[in-house]
Chains A and B, each alone.
Chain A
Amino acid sequence: MTEVMFVLAASLVFGIGVWGLLIAEHLLRKLLALNVMSSSVFIIMLVVSGDGGTSPDPVAQALILTGIVIAVAATAFALALMISIYRATGRPSISESDDDDR
């Protein structure tokens, strides 16, 4: 019951993340959407690894913990990239029209 509920909720969150990623112009928004998506994947990873008992799979937990830390490292690097793009172009976004400006 709980498992099914969390899987469904996480799937919705994943879909919302995809939607947010597609409609976001601002790179910071895209990063937020990506982080939301990764959270939902972590939830599903943990829920399906368990056997319905009270102690989830320790390997899955360790993998997710690694994933959370990698996600923050990647986010920090992406934020530095975004700031560089803003410095260079004056815009916090990447769009096809960027090529026309040159």
Chain B
Amino acid sequence: MVISVLIDFLLAAGMVVLALQVVSDKAVLRSIILFVVFGLVMALAWTRLHAPDLALAEAAIGAGVTGALMMMAWRRLLIINPERPADTPLGRSRLAVPVALLSAVLVATIGLTALDVESPTHTAGQVAAEEMTATGLGNPVTGVLLLFRNLDTLLEMAVLLIALLGARAISPPASPEEAAVVETGTPLVGALLAILVPLSILIATHLLLAGTHEPGGAFQAGAVLAAGGVALILSARLKPGERPGIVMQLGVTVGLIAFVAIGVGIMALGETLLVLPGTWAVYLIETAMMVSIGLTLALLFAGAPALVGRRG
């Protein structure tokens, strides 16, 4: 008991100290690295709060993908202008400390008040948990995401696609060499990739299949898949391409297409919109979503509308 409180205290204190370092470190690159560490401490906090699904998502997406995107953006700034340091000193604001203190007090007040309120007896979460056995899914989070509140998830996929389209619309595509940090022909890179890439596919598939009954799901699986893609992009095995072929176009949209096709198609059978007809539909949609999420995140990382393979 004492030990678990001590662990929670260390995690909570670690979050605060790391957050302080993330926003106050003098070097931007070190701030980004500290942010990844902060994300991993957050992942531990989620496990302590009995939310392993969120721990997986935080580690893979919050810390992993966000950190990788930030580092790549930092690299792009340096490529655009290597002469001039892209770093800027922290600014000064007389209002910063009081405003920050007030917002912390406000959030603490809201949080503590909400904790004090007697929890309502008939919440959507309780209903979802009660209905879980009827659905054939063992993981209530997957149940909520794919069955009970799947309009949210469908629109979430749309947001991901719009973010990719938006990013492509406002910035020119990356040059083929821009994203690669490892020289071609560096020893052992091939051997490392031969382990990492199949492993990322294996873990992603496991997370996807386990996600219906255990912690995991399409988003965590997609992020792990994207991590494999990031490794291939960094080592120039996959290069940013100019024109997305049919495979790329289908890849980033297949999650939405499968979701909409099944969710709307079901209406022909007299069902309500987006009522999924069974676990097979959940598996099918989650697989399609995993592919789309993985590819979208990898394309956002590469900063290009397509990825092309490199021979050799």
Contact = CB atoms under 8 A, between A and B. Distances in A.
Interface of A: 1-26, 28-29, 31-33, 35-36, 39-44, 46-51, 54-66, 68-77, 79-84, 86-87, 90-93
Interface string B31-59: 11001001100100110111101100110
A56 B96 contact: no
A65 B99 contact: no
B183 interface: no
Interface in B1-38: 4-5, 8-9, 12-13, 15-16, 19-20, 22-24, 28, 31-32, 35, 38
17 contacts: A8-B108, A11-B111, A13-B16, A19-B97, A22-B93, A22-B99, A24-B23, A25-B91, A26-B28, A28-B73, A36-B22, A51-B119, A56-B50, A56-B51, A65-B54, A75-B70, A86-B80
Interface stretch (B162-170, B262-270, B271-279): B162-170
B125 A57 contact: yes
Contacts of B228: none
B111 A79 contact: no
B200 to A, nearest CB: 17
| Size bracket of the B interface | 35 or more
A66 B35 CA distance: 20
Interface of B: 4-5, 8-9, 12-13, 15-16, 19-20, 22-24, 28, 31-32, 35, 38-39, 42, 45-46, 48-51, 53-54, 57-58, 61-62, 65-66, 69-70, 73-74, 76-77, 80-81, 84, 86-93, 95-97, 99-101, 103-105, 107-108, 110-112, 114-115, 119, 123-126, 128-129, 140-141, 143-145, 148-149, 152-153, 156, 159-160, 162-164, 166-167, 170-171, 217, 219, 293, 297, 300, 303
